[in-house]
Amino acid sequence: MRALTILVALLIGLAGGSPANAQRLLHQERSLYRNIFVTESGDELCMLFRYPVPLGRESCKLKSDPNKLIFDYTQMMMAGFYLNPRPAKILMLGEGGGTVPTVLQQIFPDAQIDVVEIDAAVDRVAKRFFDFKPGPKMRVFIEDGRVFVKRMRPQNPRYDVIMLDAFDADYIPEHLLTREFLEEVKSILAPNGVLVANTFSNSALYDYESVTYRAVFGPFYNLKLGNRIIIGRNGSLTPIDEIRRNAAVLDAEYQKRGTGSSFLLPLFNTGIDWNANTRILTDQYSPSNLLNALPRR
């Protein structure tokens, strides 16, 4: 019994809570792709792909303030709109709990928003537990992100902003990391369209990803905290002075969601902090399952 008590205390500690504020499991299911869990801890509702010890929370919201972006990386992804504060068409690969698409729908009500999610169960959970409600200007496609991009290429959709946030329980699927995939993504961007990608800042894949994105998009903005957000452009990179002006346009709406220019603008950086001689990831060479198991040196 004492051993069981110690184990429970350890799991609670690793989950970042106390017995009075521990996770309560609301839902669990096994989809075609993964285990999905929904937990509640005080005011916070989260979607997890691992439980009871959450090595990564896929999506969370505050019940008392559901429109607030509570993760740094979701706030950082919104910095991509500093390069285009008036998008007409937005594509997001990876739905999660639908928190970012919901915010996009609120801030850009006239924009056509396409959301692609490979797992129908994730979409059902987002709608049931996270109040994800696509409006008339939002379409949700249950499809592999790369298949969707390939299918859209003949239609020449010319997205103004494309956001890449597709993760499995460990990391980004390897077929969504390669030069060929990024070239496909670039081909459906409008001229001067913006690419926003969520990656990790401390991974053995860091150098590989960096040289691969740079090979396709050229110089990019590199925003780094626990995650790092790559912001590139289908054309020359937007100057920082223009980004500051665009930030002022969006600041009032962003502050309602818990972020803003005072947090985001200092993160913009174009410095190269990776080994530029690293091998580019391709469809023939993308061993992300091996590389990502190693710490970044």
How far apart (Å, rounded) are the C-alpha atoms in residues 288 and 290? 5
Residue 174's φ and ψ, nearest 5 degrees, are -65, -30
- Contact by Cβ (8 Å): 232, 182: no
What is the C-alpha to C-alpha distance for residues 175 and 273, in angstroms, rounded to an integer?
Answer: 24
Marked catalytic residue, from 165, 168, 170, 251 = 165
Helix, strand, coil percentages in the chain from 3-state DSSP, rounded to 5: 35, 25, 40
165 catalytically annotated: yes
Q: How far is CA 195 from CA 12, 39, 84, 188, 224, in A?
A: 38, 32, 11, 11, 16
Question: 267: which 2 tokens?
Answer: 């993160």
- Residue 275, CB half-sphere, CA atoms under 13 Å: how many? 11
Check if the beta carbon of residue 139 is closer than 8 Å to that of residue 152. no
- CA gap 187, 217 in Å, rounded: 11
For 200, phi and psi rounded to 5 degrees?
Answer: -100, 150
Q: Where do the H-state alpha helices sit in 54-160?
A: 72-77, 99-107, 120-129, 145-152
Q: Which residues pair with 223 in a beta bridge?
A: 229
Catalytic residue ranges: 165
